[in-house]
Amino acid sequence: MARMHARRKGKSGSTRIVRKKHPEWSSLNPREVESRVIDLAKTGKSTSEIGTVLRDQYAVPDVKIATGKKVTRILENNGIKSELPEDLINLIRTALALRKHLETNKKDLKNKRNLQLTESKIRRIAKYYHSEERLPAGWKYSPKQAKLMFD
């Protein structure tokens, strides 16, 4: 698949083993996995961090295969839901870091272009989340508001 803002192919990566059922060597059963997900979310971990901790510390290779639900669904069912999706939050933080860098380095044209591309991705993904109704109806990205939210 081609890159979003470049006319070249991406690097190939390793593929995960296709599994149909939860492996026997994993020590946690589905209820224990769900309780660990909830505990980790209450400590302030993001969904990707929860998956990494479960993989590395609790030997759960895939939460969806273990429980039948994704991490976000488990959190939604238990009333723990973030206001903004995680990928959008990460893009906004990247844009804020680029803006902060450009305040001190005004002639850095490469990062100025990277900021434009990142904000373009933010607008594109926000448009998608509006159509999926995962964002509030009046939500719109603005750098000033983002700076207030994440600083």
Taking alpha carbons only, the member of 107, 113, 31, 17 closest to residue 66 is 31
Local structure of residue 27 (DSSP, 8 states): -
Taking alpha carbons only, the member of 113, 134, 122, 37 closest to residue 80 is 37
Q: Which pLDDT tens digits describe the chain residue by residue (151 residues)?
A: 567 887 788 777 788 788 888 888 888 888 999 999 999 999 999 999 999 999 999 999 999 999 999 999 999 999 998 889 999 999 999 999 999 999 999 999 999 999 999 999 999 999 999 999 999 888 999 999 999 988 7
Helices (H) and strands (E) in the chain, counts: 7, 0
Please report, for residues 44, 47, 71, 73, 81, the alpha-carbon distance to residue 76 in angstroms, rounded to integers and kept in the order given: 15, 12, 9, 5, 5
pLDDT of 111 reads 96
pLDDT of 5 reads 81
pLDDT of 1 reads 53
